[in-house]
Amino acid sequence: MNKPRTLRRRDFCISAAAALGGAGWFTHELFAQPGAPKPPAGAPKPAPRAPATRAPATRPPAAPAKKPDPKKEPRSITLNTKDGVALRAEFFPGGKGKETVPIILLHGWEERGAVWTPLATYFQRVLGHAVIVPDLRGHGQSLTQNVPGMTEPRTLSPDDLTPADMEATVLDVQECKKYLQEENNKGELNLEMLCVIGAKYGAMIGMKFAALDWSWPILTTGKQGQDVKGLALLTPIDRMKRVTAAPALQALRVPIASGRFSMLVMAGEQDRTGFADAKRMHRQLEGMYPKGQDEKPQAEQGLWMVAPDTNSHGTQLIDPARRLGMERALTDFIAQRIIARKDDFEWTERKSALAR
């Protein structure tokens, strides 16, 4: 098997700059230009000029400030999952109508959706993507579940989540997709271009959701699934508390074989355990893609491996304070593997909301 081509931070600088048209992730300092050279010693000084008199300038009336469109402002929402969890989420509307890429961001264990806010804001304001960021059950503000037969809602926390609860977390993501479907039917985004990005525990949930999404057949009445076209895994794990992603990983053979599903695996090279696990997962996935992937141009590869020279892991990889530039890698992945193929992912109206 050919050695996988590992992409590092520097590989994305040129292509991302072109994709963003100069828009940056960080604030860059502006340096003053050096002044003109001084005249030689002994040179005659120019005669002072009399101050010019000018007629008072008449300024045109200032244009009224443009009010921001409230429909495009981020908004907090509460979604009710099929099994009774009150799921809190933040939605960042996109700006390109039916060409808008929808993205679901899934945080890690004992984190909350707010950890993604800088990336979600960047995706929305700079790139025009629509982003939904849930607090997964037992985390953030998603702490209650209405259970049949119980008079009071069940309280959820990471310590109390059972393997069954963790398996059911895929319903949280499904509910986010249902919300995006409603936005799709308003013409605000294209659900056919759905991208899921998960970190560590969120990466495992993302794999399970992608496998579930591609398990639904296309009926004569319309599509039920097969919408996830991009899956990015940041320091992915494949097992936790007796929950394993192995069946989901194998089930991804179906979307991979379709040629309409791309994956990115990211881990810091100095994060010994996380990088070893990511490489092992990458090797498994590599065997599912057609041979010779690494010999193609990057834009034509369905499987990417990104390895920045850092010991950062999970959502730390996109922390603006760390200045790793990994948001550029995600930008390139979405641009080259989803947006560049938008003619293959035509917008369609969904006849009915997802009931699952």
Q: What is the pLDDT of residues 84-108, one digit of tens each?
A: 999 999 999 999 999 999 999 999 9
Q: Are 175 and 137 in contact (CB under 8 A)?
A: no
β-bridge pairing 243-244 and 239-240? antiparallel
Over 70: is that where the pLDDT of 264 sits?
A: yes
Structure tokens at 16: 């991302």
pLDDT tops 70 at residue 352: no
Residues 6+ apart with CB under 8 A from 235: 199, 200, 203, 266, 267, 268, 271, 274, 277, 278, 313, 314, 317
Residue 297 contacts residue 304 (beta carbons within 8 Å)? no
What confidence score (pLDDT) does residue 37 get? 46
pLDDT at site 322? 96
How high is the pLDDT of residue 85?
A: 98
CA distance 178 to 308: 34
CATH of the domain at 306: 3.40.50.1820
Tally of domains within the chain: 1
- Other Cβ atoms within 10 Å of 182 Cβ, number: 13
Enclosing domain of residue 286: 6-15+73-344
Are 318 and 119 in contact by the 8 Å Cβ rule? The answer is yes
Question: Tens digit of pLDDT for each residue in 39-53?
Answer: 445 555 555 555 545
As a whole number of angstroms, the distance between CA 101 and CA 95 comes to 9
> In this structure, is the dihedral angle defined by the CA atoms of residues 113, 325, 209 and 192, taken in order, positive or negative?
positive
| CB contact at 8 A, 116 and 315 | yes
26 lies in a domain? Answer: no
Domain annotation covers residue 136: yes
Q: What's the N-to-C CA distance of the chain in angstroms? A: 40
> Is the pLDDT at 337 greater than 90, yes or no?
yes
Asked if residue 42 belongs to a domain, the reply is no
pLDDT band for position 299 (cuts 50, 70, 90): confident
What CA–CA distance (Å, rounded) separates 50 from 42? 24
Q: From residue 345, give the alpha-carbon distance in Å to each of 89, 99, 304.
A: 26, 10, 20
Residue 283 lies in a domain: yes
Q: Residue 218 pLDDT more than 80?
A: no
Asked whether 310 and 329 are in contact (CB, 8 A), the reply is: no
Averaged pLDDT for residues 289-305: 87
Whether 122 is covered by a domain: the verdict is yes
Cβ-proximal residues to 59 (8 Å cutoff; 6+ apart), any chain: none
Alpha helices (runs of H) in the chain, residue ranges in sequence order: 13-20, 117-127, 163-168, 170-185, 201-213, 246-251, 253-258, 272-286, 326-337
Place of tokens 């050096």: 34
On the question of pLDDT at 32 being above 70, the answer is no
Residue 130 lies in a domain: yes
pTM of the predicted protein model:
0.83
- 272: Cα separation from own chain's centroid: 24
Q: Is the pLDDT of residue 217 over 90?
A: no
Residue 56 inside a domain? The answer is no
Residue 242 lies in a domain: yes
